[in-house]
Amino acid sequence: MDKLLITGGNPLAGEVRISGSKNSGLPILAATLLADSPMHVCNLPHLNDITTMLALLRCMGVGVTIDEKMCVEVDPSSINDYTAPYDLVKTMRASILVLGPILARHGVANVSFPGGCAIGSRPVDIHLRGLEAMGAEITVDEGYIRARSDGRLKGAHIFMDTVTVGGTENLLMAAALADGKTVLENAAREPEVVDLANCLVAMGANIEGIGTDTLTIHGVERLQGCTFSVMPDRIETGTFLTAAAAARGRVLLKDTDAHMLEAVLLKLEEAGAHLNTGPDWIELDMKGNRPRAVNLKTAPYPAFPTDMQAQFTAMNAVAEGTGTVIETIFENRLIQIHELNRMGADIKLEGNTAIVTGVEVLKGAPVMASDLRASASLVIAGMVAQGETVVDRIYHIDRGYECIEEKLQLIGANIRRVPS
């Protein structure tokens, strides 16, 4: 198992190209199962979760071809197995997203309960209740969700009592091929949901209210293949911006979009960052200054994203003043705090609130990643710490960041991957 070895203190400055979004690419790959002809999905990041989703498609008999630019051709016409097995599903929560498309297209689906990061309870009840409202018969048996429908799914009015990105995506895909009109109320508004909806429209779906919390889907008879390019990764974008802010540096990020990160950019400006943006780039410059501590509270989009909380906690750890970080989405998502305190941070945990008093400098230490975004916070802390930091269990970070050490080396970080 590899580790990241980081020698802190280097100034960060330079340019980075942002990869395609994992959180958009995964549901869009699931959506290819709805098509009756080949799909071409471009700008996919080269990540373990993407590789796992492609393996899942292949194990169901779907034809998958990848070119050197990570543009994937998916031919769903060869599917011959409607089961998503535990061995693949256990490593990746997003595998639940094949449930709606397979059921809508083929009338039967067997999907193992998913796994993923240990950041708390993320029940799939809303997915299942929504599909049942559309006429599916669902049983849970030996760790598998077994879904059946007698003919096409039927349009339904579905109110989701909790905002859920995965639930919105699963039901949106299922409704695209359902018979009649489906209304999804209290739908997630995340840019990745919008990207999926735009992909479905390109395939021939009829969807109203894209980008709002009420989606109206008029089911169509068929969806055809198309070519679709996945949006930039807003969390990778935010992570590199926050790393540069923590390190008092300057960074230019290319192939990204400032509009999907407004809550994060606002907090970075509060921290003292000078920001410039263009149609596909963002520049951050700290002018050599230490960041100022910021207060933040996570909430569904368009508020501050839970996936950026850990990185801002690391920035606050070396900022001027005291910042309060409130996590409202996942109960275990402040888990990285104990590791940051091992590096000399001054963070007090009170329930779902972290009170972060900035220190002048962190000290390098051996630390252990517990989930994807927590591992990113430890990398940021290692880059601004004195001495050497070793981040263990980096398979978590490889699930969400493409070539993270190479990209950080491009902006001056002293970081390399070493075997255990």
Task: Output the DSSP codes for 374-397.
Answer: HHHHHHHHHHHSBSEEEEE-THHH
Max distance between CA atoms of the chain, in angstroms, equals: 64
Please report which helix (H) or strand (E) contains residue 159, including its range.
strand 157-159
Q: Which residues are paired to 137 by β-bridges?
A: 148
* Cis-peptide, bond into residue 302, ω within 30° of zero: yes
Is-catalytic flag, 71?
A: no
Sequence-distant (6+) residues with CB within 8 A of 222 are 36, 177, 204
The whole-angstrom separation of Cα 345 and Cα 364 is 11
Rg (CA), the chain: 21
Closest CA to 256 of 49, 8, 21: 21
Given the residues 42, 59, 71, 117, select the one marked as catalytic. 117
**Amino acid identity at 91:** T
At CA 107, angle to CA 104 and CA 125, rounded to 5? 65
The whole-angstrom separation of Cα 43 and Cα 21 is 8
- Burial degree of 157 (CB within 10 A; 0-12, 13-18, 19+): exposed
The whole-angstrom separation of Cα 230 and Cα 42 is 6
How far the first Cα of the chain sits from its last, in Å, is 6
**Catalytic residues, which ones?**
117
